[in-house]
Amino acid sequence: IGVFQLVVITLTKGTAMSVSSQSDQGRRGRSQTAVDETLLPPFVHQLDTKIKDYEREGDIEFPFEDTTGAGDENRMRGNWSSRTDSLLAIAGFTFGLGNIWRFPFLVYKHGGVAFLIPFSVCLFVAAIPVFFLEVSLGQFSSVAAISVWKAVPLFKGIGISSVYLSCVLSIYLAVTESWTLFYLIESIGFSLPWSNCTNSWSGKNCSAPARIACNLTNGTLLLNGSCLSLVDGSITNQTTLKSLEYFHESVLMKSNSIEEFAPLNWYLGICLMIIWSAVFLCLFQGVKSSGKVVYVVVVLPYIILAVLLVRLLTLEGSLSAVIHFMYPDFSVLRDLKVWGEAAIHAFYSLSCCTGGLITLASYNRFHSNLLRDVWLIPLLDILCSISACILTFSAIGFTCRLIGVDITHFQLRDGAHLLFVFLSEALSQLPAAPLYAALFFLMLALIINSTLVSLIFDTWGSISVVNSAMHCCSSSSLYLSSFQLFVVETVISSLCDHFAELLRKCRRHVLAVSCIILALLSLPFCSSAGLYWLAILDRYVLRWPLIILAFLEVTAMGWVYGVDNLLDNIKWMTGKYPPVYLFWKMLWKYVCPVVYMLILSFVWQEWEILTYETYSFPYWTSLVGWGLSLVPLIIIIVAGVEELVGARGTFSQRWSSVLNPDDSWGPALAIHRAEHFPLQIPEARRLLITCEDDLPPSEKEWQESHGGLNAHSHENGFSGRISTDRMSHAATIASVPAFERETAI
């Protein structure tokens, strides 16, 4: 510790210092800066030789930083201002659309509260391990999704594939959020446009609640609003909710087939440009601005969710619907299909394998306690999912009571229909409907946006060192959801970390170019066929490729890098191993690969021709979808071959090179590397190893036979063990306590 405090003082003051055999008084007299020599370890005072000046011999430069202050630990890249910033960012990234438009449908379909049992088990076995793995890798290396695979260079393509999926996901989220912004703007008024059937887009089958209730009894609605006949029946196929017609005809301008692109809804296009502009403004100043934005875009959705939940639970029929749909049916636990559905949703619920978790964790301080985050975030995710269920079921109960439909006859649909059709229909019947609709779509927009920014942030690079706060973001950025923000952040950080010398200094230009490119790629989805193409992305690109990446991640880290090395890295950061060491070892090495293959089999087993309502997609769309979904696998193969061909040496040496960590793999700061491996740091070696000319013959011969100290200490990055067979020359000639020679792992 004393050596490195001395180095910090020396580098900051710009004073070159040397250690000699002269007395303490003489040494203090020649020093240009007053230094407390008690900081020096004992053997430095007793060295009877000269310290060789440092000469660059291919050493990797690691910045020394003061980790004891309140500022950024990594000043080249930046850190979260506090642990709260980090927790909110990860919470906003994991709480996404699936919690709102998928989880309530699964609870409704698979036994109510009983579904929480297989979901919780699968979350613990399938989602939390890869979540823990990615957060650990990001915090340990302080780099984003691509550069983190210096741990196993052969699998570098996993990081590139994550960036590719982040780009696709950012487009998907941006288009979905443009719908939300469109609804939010339309909610500002005295009445909601989808609350009646007197609009230009209303078709002849548009039905208000009174007409639906009358159709239930096969009756005829009279002009005075009364129903002529009362006979038990069901809703006819000719009845269409006004909110569904508004969604199809006014918002999407949906065409009849995927080949019909015209017309383009320019209102959605303008909303899309507003969203990408807000993303740029929030990420313009880097981690310092985005870290403050999360206090709005992450906390506000939870507040709005609580307000809407309380309001809907006070409506007539809401409590009975919640009790009806949440009533447990434990017989579903014997159905393997239910466990398969639970495993699939549990895996996607924490937003793993898109690179966002690695990127967000890379801005943590090195010694942050990530063991608490691993359990806190999944618990928060479960609570939010249950809250979304109660919100949805209470809205169902109120709507069914309003239109006179028995709750047992209600059929719920998942996806966009749940949010933009049914819940918007329920909100339109509330007193002060525009207010609650605006709150709901504002909450939805913030949830989507928080993930989008994270993905773009992760794709493009590292966060710049900026001390500006959130005031640089315009008011429009508050609308940004944290999910969208961090998706974009993923893209930016990955590129800037991987091409650090080229892109890190011009991060804002990279951000601007990336936002423009992604905005242009998003624009065609605002056409009449945009909904069909989004369905293709959702079905093919954003499902099973993520499972393949998860399988490869745990395989590479568990079997190639070594699960013991991974657990050692966690202990290095937190000071202790995760609870039940053997359990995590077995989970990462054996259980997770099998579980991911089972999940993949469930996904492929339920594969069927893609349809939307009554429209069946043509065959060529399946070919396009499979082609897009195979891109991540092609990237992994090509990147692995490139790494193998680019390595030097014989065939076996090349394989050894790409399967062992790169020399630069490990903690980003020298002060952290030096905690375990000080001889990897050139400045530290100067104080520990004396000039080669003063070495005794036996020591010279030993170093020459091992290719020199530098080659020995950098041979395999962090893949070896500590060697205890040699003593440092400082200890040999000065007769001080033995100092073990440390090699790179």
In whole angstroms, give the CA distance from residue 186 to residue 674: 59
707 is in an annotated binding site: no
Give the tokens for residue 67. 């980790």
660 is in an annotated binding site: no
In whole angstroms, give the CA distance from residue 99 to residue 282: 24
Give the tokens for residue 366. 């090195």
Bridge partners (DSSP) listed for residue 99? none
Q: Which long-range contacts (CB under 8 A, 24 or more apart) does 565-572 make?
A: 565/718, 565/719, 565/745, 566/133, 566/136, 569/136, 569/140, 570/136, 570/140, 570/370, 570/371, 572/140, 572/667, 572/675, 572/676
In whole angstroms, give the CA distance from residue 493 to residue 355: 10
224 is in an annotated binding site: no
For 562, list phi and psi in degrees, rounded to 5.
105, 120
Is 396 within 8 Å of 107 (Cβ atoms)?
A: no
Mind spelling out the 3-state secondary structure of 257-286? CCCCCCCECHHHHHHHHHHHHHHHHHHCCC
In 3D space, the residue among 248, 243, 266, 186 whose CA is nearest the CA of residue 532 turns out to be 248
394 is in an annotated binding site: no
What is the identity of the amino acid at 604? W
Largest CA distance in the chain: 112
Q: What is the dihedral of CA 450, 452, 457, 460, to 10 degrees?
A: 180
Is 528 within 8 Å of 254 (Cβ atoms)?
A: yes
In whole angstroms, give the CA distance from residue 550 to residue 161: 11
Work out the angle between the directed axes of helices 370-403 and 318-326 (0-180°, nearest 10): 120
Q: 207: which DSSP letter?
A: E
In whole angstroms, give the CA distance from residue 45 to residue 38: 10
Give the tokens for residue 415. 């996806």
3-state helix, strand, coil in the chain (%, to 5): 65, 0, 35
End-to-end CA distance of the chain: 21
In whole angstroms, give the CA distance from residue 128 to residue 130: 6
Spatial CB neighbours of 709, under 8 Å, sequence gap ≥ 6: 679, 685, 689, 703
DSSP string, 141-190: H---TTGGGGGSGGGHHHHHHHHHHHHHHHHHHHHHHHHHHHHHHHTSSS
What is the identity of the amino acid at 319? L
How many CA atoms, within 13 angstroms, populate the side-chain half-sphere of residue 300?
Answer: 23
Other beta carbons within 10 Å of 471? 9
Spatial CB neighbours of 12, under 8 Å, sequence gap ≥ 6: none
Give how far the C-alpha of residue 176 lies from the chain's centroid of Cα atoms, to the nearest Å: 18
In whole angstroms, give the CA distance from residue 169 to residue 173: 6
In whole angstroms, give the CA distance from residue 288 to residue 452: 18
Is 711 within 8 Å of 691 (Cβ atoms)?
A: no
Residue ranges at the known binding site: 92, 99, 349, 468
Residue ranges at the known binding site for Na(+): 92, 99, 349, 468
